Each structure stands twice: as C-alpha cells, then as structure tokens.
Amino acid sequence: MITFTLALVTGLGRRAAYYVAVVLAVVGALWIAVRQGRQAGEARYAIRRVEARIRSLQSSKEIRHEVQNMERSDLQRRLTRWMRD
C-alpha cells in the first residue's frame, strides 16, 4: 500500500512538473512575442513620425521658395485672398 501511494505521488509530481514546464514555456514564448511586437510597433511609429517631419520640412521649404520668387503683385493678391477667407 505504501509503495502504491509512493508511486502515485511520484507520478503526480512528475506530471505536475511536466505541466508546469509546458505552461512556463508557453507563457515565455507569448511574452517574447508581445515584447518583440511592441518594439516593432514603436520602431514603425518612430519611422512614420520622422517621415512626416521630413514631408512637412520639405513642404515648408517649397512654400518659402515659392513666396520668395513670387512677384510683388501676385504676393499681394494672394495675401488679400488669404486674409479674406
């Protein structure tokens, strides 16, 4: 009877250790996947922010260049139209 109980408890301990190891492996894999996904998302967001900043700087440069090369009468007409709107 003691041998049977000992064998049963030992078997349960091994099974429990196996299940705990499997659960820890799955949780670890999910944690790694979430962490890498978050880092990739943050990197993508940073790239999009930089690209938007570059586009705005280029647009500003083009507008500044256009205004500087514009004739005085055209500049006055556009300013009047802009102030009216």
Structure confidence by residue, pLDDT tens digits, 36-74 = 999 999 999 999 999 999 999 999 999 999 888 888 888
In terms of pTM, does the model score above 0.85? no
Domain annotation covers residue 70: no
- For residue 17, what pLDDT is reported? 78
- For residue 2, what pLDDT is reported? 67
Domain annotation covers residue 42: yes
- For residue 45, what pLDDT is reported? 97
Residue 85, classed as helix, strand or coil, is: coil
Domain annotation covers residue 19: no
Residues 6+ apart with CB under 8 A from 75: 67
Structural domains in the chain (count): 1
Q: Which amino acid is at 4?
A: F
Q: Is the dihedral of CA 67, 70, 76, 78 positive or negative?
A: negative
Domain annotation covers residue 30: yes
Nearest residue to 67 via CA among 82, 53, 54: 82
Q: Which amino acid is at 20?
A: V
